[in-house]
Amino acid sequence: MTEAEARHEIEALREQLRYHNHRYYGLDEPDIPDAEYDRLFHRLRDLEAQFPALLTVDSPTMRVGGEAMPAFATVTHEVPMLSLDNVFSAEEFADFDRRARERLGDLLGQGGDLFSSPQLSYCCEPKLDGLAISLVYEDGILVRGATRGDGVTGEDITHNVRTIASIPLRLLGDTLPALLEVRGEVVMPKAGFLRMNEQAAAKGEKTFVNPRNAAAGSLRQLDPRMTAQRPLEFYAYSRIREEGRPAGQAAAISHHEILQQLRHYGFRLSREIKLGEGPDFVQGYYQDILQRRASLPYEIDGVVIKVDSLRWQHELGFVSRAPRWATAYKFPAQEAVTTVQAIEFQVGRTGALTPVARLAPVFVGGVTVSNATLHNFDEIERMDVRVGDSVVIYRAGDVIPKVVRVLSERRPADALPVVLPTRCPVCDSDVERPDGEAIARCSGGLFCPAQQKEALKHFVSRRAMDVDGLGDKWIEQLVDLGLIKSSADLYNLKKEDLVGLERMGEKSADNLLQAIAHSKATTLPRFLYALGIRDVGEATALALARHWGRLDAVMAADEAALMHVPDVGPVVAESISTFFRQTHNLEVITRLRALGVSWPDLAAESERPQPLAGQTWVLTGALSTMSRDQAKEKLLQLGAKVSGSVSKKTHCVVAGEAAGSKLAEAEKLGVHVIDEAAFQQVLSEHGL
Interval 217-238: pLDDT, tens = 888 777 778 888 888 999 999 9
Element of type H or E holding 41 = helix 34-50
Task: Tell me the average pLDDT across 14-43.
Answer: 69
Condensed to tens digits (0 to 9), the pLDDT of residues 312-324 reads 998 888 875 678 8
The predicted model gives 157-168 an average pLDDT of 90
Helix 211-219 vs helix 190-202: angle between axes, to the nearest 10 degrees? 80
Phi, psi of 504 (to 5 degrees): -115, 105
The 3-class secondary structure across 160-196, one letter per residue, is: HHCCCCCCCCECCCCCCCCEEEEEEEEECCHHHHHHH
- The pLDDT, as a whole number, for residue 66 is 45
pLDDT level of residue 579 (50, 70, 90 thresholds): confident
Contact present, 211 and 190 (Cβ < 8 Å): yes
Nearest to 93 by CA among 313, 367, 304, 318: 304
Quickly state the pLDDT bin for 25 (edges 50, 70, 90): low
- pLDDT confidence of residue 521: 94
Answer yes or no: same fold for 121-330 and 335-432. no
For the cut 60, the answer to whether the pLDDT of residue 113 exceeds it is no
Cβ proximity of 610 and 636 under 8 Å:
no
Three-state secondary-structure class, residue 243:
strand
Say whether 127 is catalytic. yes
Tell me, what's the pLDDT at 355? 93
CATH number of 121-330: 3.30.470.30
CATH code for the structural domain at 609-685: 3.40.50.10190
What's domain 335-432's superfamily in CATH? Nucleic acid-binding proteins (2.40.50.140)
CATH among 3.90.1300.10, 1.10.150.20, 3.40.50.300, 3.30.1330.60 for 445-518? 1.10.150.20
- The residues near 676 (Cβ < 8 Å, ≥ 6 apart) are 623, 624, 625, 654, 656
What mean pLDDT is predicted for residues 33-47?
Answer: 73
**Interatomic CA distance for residues 184 and 162, integer angstroms:** 14
- Which CATH homologous superfamily contains domain 524-605? 5' to 3' exonuclease, C-terminal subdomain (1.10.150.20)
pLDDT in tens, 496-546: 999 878 888 899 999 999 999 999 999 999 999 999 888 888 878 988 988
What are the backbone dihedrals phi and psi of residue 326, each rounded to the nearest 5 degrees, phi first?
A: -145, 150
User: Active-site residue among 127, 274, 306, 453?
Assistant: 127
pLDDT at 115 over 70: no
**Encoded amino acid at 592, one letter:** L
pLDDT attached to residue 35: 60
Average pLDDT across the chain, whole number: 85
Do residues 655 and 663 make contact, with C-beta atoms less than 8 angstroms apart? yes
* Whether pLDDT at 121 is above 70: yes
Domain 3-64 adopts which CATH fold? Helix Hairpins (1.10.287)
Indicate whether 116 pLDDT > 70.
no
* Domain locations in the chain as residue ranges: 3-64, 121-330, 335-432, 445-518, 524-605, 609-685
- Answer positive or negative: Cα dihedral of 257, 261, 262, 266: positive
Q: Which of 323, 276, 274, 238 is nearest to 121 (CA)?
A: 276
pLDDT reported for residue 26:
52
- For the cut 80, the answer to whether the pLDDT of residue 159 exceeds it is yes
Best CA proximity match to 215, nearest among 142, 143, 268, 147: 147
> How confident is the model over 470-493, as a mean pLDDT?
92
Give me the pLDDT at residue 605, please. 54
Q: How far are the Cα atoms of 399, 441, 572, 586, 607 from residue 558, in angstroms, in the given order?
A: 39, 25, 12, 16, 21
Instruction: Please report the beta strands in 205-352, taking only residues with DSSP state E, as ranges in sequence order.
Output: 233-243, 274-277, 300-307, 318-319, 322-323, 326-330, 335-347
Q: Does the pLDDT at position 33 exceed 70?
A: no
Q: Band the pLDDT of 112: cuts 50, 70, 90.
A: very low
Cβ-in-10-Å burial (0-12, 13-18, 19+) of 653 comes to buried
Whether the pLDDT of residue 31 is over 70: the answer is no
**b/e burial code for range 257-270 (CB count within 10 A of at least 16 → b):** ebbebbbebbbbbb
